[in-house]
Amino acid sequence: MTPEPPARTRQAPTLEAVAELAGVSRATVSRVVNGSLRVSPAAHAAVTRAIAELGYVPNQAARSLVTRRTDTIVLIVHERPDTVFADPFFASVLRGVNQALSVTQLQLVLLQVQGDRQRDRALRYVGNGHVDGVLLISLHGDDIMPMSVSGAGVPLVMAGRLLTGDPVDSVDADNVGGARQAVRHLVATGRRELATVAGPVDMSVGVDRLAGYAQAARDAGLPASATRVETGDFTEASGQAAAARLLAEHPTIDAVFAASDLMALGVLRALRAAGRRVPDDVAVVGFDDAAPAVYADPPLTTVRQPVERLGAEMVHQLLRRIADPTGDAASVILPTELVIRSSA
């Protein structure tokens, strides 16, 4: 009287069982499962039926052991130790990643990394063949992860670009172009005394959006006095503080380009606190990273980057790189879009 084993323990059907039921060898079953062409219709049918009957699903561990593939990629989010990464941006990227992945056999492992300990653990995980490829979202402009990963020969695609200039497969929004759109819009609507609340200078997004701002201001023939810059860290509070500084020192400002949506919100608050009217008095344009700034009231004119698509493109590029590990690093730049709403 052997006791009934718990469901959990009940042996999942193996290749062997399928082979037996179908009356063929394990190799043939394997061929069918893996879509080999060199199988007779009869064998194929028998195997397919047996698989259905038994509810067979390949054991991934056994498969990985021999193929050295894992059918898994990892998304690493390398945050700063102190900062909380902007949720909506991340969630939107993730949505795009999942969508692109849903038509593949690949599974997604998620790794949130803060600090050197966790980073090194992640690096070890990746370096040890646990995944077929890496997607990286890094908040560090000089992160060592990208080079460590690609140096280990593991396919990698990162969001944004490396401030070090090292070549890495990457997908990025057109931050320079987006900032230019913002400035051109402000100038086109008659603004002449511009300022920007820029992002951190140690992040490519920060650098690029500032560069676009400066370029466009120069192109518009604005004097240097009309290109004020204060820096924030992408948070609402920092945007508010930066705007307050701007207003105190340059009361004649009539437009602000905020390099993130959260900072744009802060700018709005600072303007209100200072008794300025938006947009009559001062116009505001923010960069839309999918954070909730669009819920500002009145709604904000923004430069929108296609965040979800960014995630999907990262996957596509990674798949390409996995299929063909050779060749130079490629950068995909996604266009931004100016979305005009009432407050600018």
| Per-residue contact string for residues 8-47; x = within reach of a second copy by CB under 8 A | xx--x-----------------------------------
Q: Which of residues 257-316 bind a second copy (CB under 8 A)?
A: 265, 290-293, 295-297
Which of DNA, a second copy, none interacts with 24 (beta carbon under 5 to 8 A by kind)? Answer: DNA
User: Which C-beta is closer to a second copy: that of 70 or that of 227?
Assistant: 70
335 binds a second copy (CB under 8 A): no
167 binds a second copy (CB under 8 A): no
70 binds a second copy (CB under 8 A): yes
User: Which C-beta is closer to DNA: that of 26 or that of 80?
Assistant: 26
Partners of 78 in the β-ladder: 113, 138
Structure-token match 């038509």, residue found: 103
* In contact, 335 and 175? CB cutoff 8 Å: no
DSSP H helices, 7-157, are 15-22, 26-33, 41-54, 60-67, 87-101, 115-127, 145-151
7 binds DNA (CB under 7 A): no
Which of a second copy, DNA, none interacts with 42 (beta carbon under 5 to 8 A by kind)? Answer: DNA
DSSP H helices, the chain, are 15-22, 26-33, 41-54, 60-67, 87-101, 115-127, 145-151, 175-188, 204-219, 236-249, 261-273, 307-323
- Range 160-178 burial, b when 16+ CB lie within 10 A, else e: bbbbeeeebbbbbbbbbbb
102 binds a second copy (CB under 8 A): yes
Partners of 227 in the β-ladder: 194
Binding piece for a second copy, criterion CB under 8 A, among 15-23, 39-47, 91-99, 249-257 = 91-99
| Per-residue contact string for residues 227-266; x = within reach of a second copy by CB under 8 A | --------------------------------------x-
Q: Which of residues 45-104 bind DNA (CB under 7 A)?
A: 56, 58-59, 62-63, 65-67
H or E element that contains 338: strand 337-339
Which of a second copy, DNA, none interacts with 15 (beta carbon under 5 to 8 A by kind)? Answer: DNA
Whole-angstrom distance, CA of residue 230 vs CA of residue 235: 13
Pairing mode, strands 255-258 and 194-198: parallel
Whole-angstrom distance, CA of residue 284 vs CA of residue 258: 7
140 binds a second copy (CB under 8 A): no
Tokens (6 digits) for 141:
């402009």
Close Cβ partners of 230 (under 8 Å, ≥ 6 residues apart): 195, 196, 197, 198, 242, 243, 245, 246
34 binds DNA (CB under 7 A): yes
User: Which C-beta is closer to a second copy: that of 45 or that of 110?
Assistant: 110
Close Cβ partners of 52 (under 8 Å, ≥ 6 residues apart): none
Which of a second copy, DNA, none interacts with 110 (beta carbon under 5 to 8 A by kind)? Answer: a second copy
Binding piece for a second copy, criterion CB under 8 A, among 80-88, 162-170, 199-207, 238-246 = 80-88
| Chain residues in the site for DNA (CB under 7 A) | 11-12, 14-16, 23-28, 30-31, 33-34, 37-40, 42-44, 56, 58-59, 62-63, 65-67
| Chain residues in the site for a second copy (CB under 8 A) | 6-9, 12, 57, 59-62, 64-65, 70, 72, 84, 87-88, 90-92, 94-95, 98-99, 102, 107-112, 118, 124-125, 127-130, 151-154, 265, 290-293, 295-297, 325
